[in-house]
């Protein structure tokens, strides 16, 4: 059996389960679900959330498997992918090195650790660096086209 056929059957089965769960949620109604949730009973929505997580895991696994199979069969693509991952890692490392961390109290009474604060700063700096690179690439491409 081809992998496409297996995946198509899996999609149909998961879709049918999702429709059944959606039907049960609609049949119960908003008011009953909200009242149960206020009492701590999430049993009406828990199955569809679990299904969503299963679908997410399946999609991520299938994507990774086919990506890796494609990269392994084309060494030039594998080299480019590894280079891109290395550059991204270097950008994250630079952003982390530029970040500082301070213990921060949060609204719910918890305290964000200095390490967590530093990772948040690194994530923001990584975003800014990648945004500048993307904007620069678009400007460079536009100028290059105008010159031609």
pTM of the prediction?
0.64
Based on the structure, what is the number of domains in the chain? 2
Contact 3, 11 (CB under 8 A): no
Q: Do both 58 and 114 map to the same domain? A: no
Q: Do both 128 and 66 map to the same domain? A: no
Q: Do both 85 and 145 map to the same domain? A: yes
Q: Do both 86 and 38 map to the same domain? A: no
As a whole number of angstroms, the distance between CA 91 and CA 108 comes to 32
pLDDT digits (tens, 9 = 90+) for 29-44: 888 888 888 888 888 8
Query: 73, 104, 124 — which closes off a domain?
Result: 73
Q: Do both 62 and 12 map to the same domain? A: yes
Kindly give the pairing relationship between strand 104-105 and strand 111-112: antiparallel
pLDDT in tens, the chain (148 residues): 687 898 899 889 999 999 999 999 899 888 888 888 888 888 888 999 999 999 999 899 989 998 999 988 998 999 999 999 999 999 999 999 999 988 888 888 889 899 999 999 999 999 999 999 999 999 999 999 999 8
Domain that includes residue 85, residue range: 75-148
Q: Do both 10 and 62 map to the same domain? A: yes
Q: Do both 57 and 88 map to the same domain? A: no
């Amino acid at each position: 059996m081809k992998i496409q056929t297996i995946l198509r059957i899996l999609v149909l089965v998961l879709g049918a389960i999702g429709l059944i769960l959606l039907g049960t949620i609609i049949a119960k109604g908003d008011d009953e679900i909200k009242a149960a949730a206020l009492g701590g009973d999430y049993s009406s929505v828990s199955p569809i959330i679990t299904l969503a997580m299963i679908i997410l895991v399946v999609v991520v696994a299938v994507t990774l498997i086919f990506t890796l199979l494609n990269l392994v069969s084309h060494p030039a693509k594998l080299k480019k992918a590894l280079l891109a991952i290395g550059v991204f890692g270097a950008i994250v490392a630079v952003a982390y090195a530029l970040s500082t961390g301070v213990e921060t109290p949060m609204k719910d009474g918890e305290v964000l650790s200095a390490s967590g604060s530093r990772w948040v700063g690194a994530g923001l700096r990584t975003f800014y660096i990648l945004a500048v690179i993307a904007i620069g690439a678009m400007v460079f491409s536009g100028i290059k086209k105008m010159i031609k």
